Amino acid sequence: MSLVAIKDDNDVAFRQRLDECKELMEYASDELSESSRIMGDQINNTDLGILDKQPELMNLLSAVVAYQETCLDGLDKPELRAKVEDLLLNSTQLISNALSIVASTPKILEEFNIPAAKPKYLGRKLLGSDEKGYPSWMSEDDKKLLESVDVVQNPHAVVAKDGSGQFDTIMSALAAYPKDNMGRYVVSVKEGIYEEYVIVAKHQVNVFMYGDGAPRTIVTGGRSNKTGWATFKSGTFCKFLVSMYL
């Protein structure tokens, strides 16, 4: 998925879009590496139910497709889009084939009379909530963490517009993310309107962020595709697979 073959251009917007595509391809590469790791675990450990990993693999491979499409969507020059599409053609076809194979796993196992444990879940729900009001996709561990008195009273970082916290912006709290952090990094965002764009870097894993409620903790901004920003960078929060409950 290299974009090196595309020559330099003096157009600033051109370079920006190309850089955004490179960033998206890095994310896609990460997802492919994780998919490969999961498949390696399946091969080396027969106790793992392959159907149990099917939804996760589908999510990862679908994300790769989404990253590729997002890259192409941001390219408004037809000749540039055509070049990138050509560069991505081989990987796009391979990912499409991989998705088809993973989706067909239950049928393949059945045809070869290979027993496999039924999946424990059928995928993540992005909408809806449980009886406690938590999003239906939130894990039980995260629910317990959010309900923990220690987490609520002793977060690693407190952001407050009125100066009562350690930081007055969310980005400054993320900048204090400990190097080589192994556990959760809990950030409490107090009531206020935060006019900033929050970008959680790839190395900032296990960020758990919570606010004082949707009507009170608000993060806002004015970026849009019309003002020259790529759609995936126009959101006030930019990060993949991060726990945030404001």
Q: Which of 235, 165, 150 is nearest to 199 (CA)?
A: 235
Question: How far apart, in Å, are the Cα atoms of 12 and each of 9, 17, 18, 82, 87?
Answer: 8, 9, 10, 19, 22
Residue 54 confidence (pLDDT) = 83
Report if pTM > 0.85: no
Q: Is the pLDDT of residue 42 over 90?
A: no
Residue 161 confidence (pLDDT) = 93
Mapped onto helix, strand or coil, the DSSP state of residue 72 is helix
| Out of 85-99, 114-128, 169-183, least confident range | 114-128
Residues 107-150 have pLDDT tens digits of 887 787 766 545 554 444 444 566 666 666 667 777 776 676 56
CB contact at 8 A, 62 and 92: no
Rounded CA gap, 242 and 244, in Å?
6
Between strands 192-195 and 185-189, the pairing is unpaired
Q: Is 209 exposed, middle or buried (0-12, 13-18, 19+ CB in 10 A)?
A: buried
Q: Which of 199, 190, 186, 242 is nearest to 218 (CA)?
A: 190
DSSP letter for each residue of 88-147 = HHHHHHHHHHHHHHHHTHHHHHHHTT---PPPS-S----S-B-TTS-BTTS-HHHHHHHH
Rounded CA gap, 154 and 157, in Å?
8
| Out of 59-73, 125-139, 158-172, 212-226, least confident range | 125-139
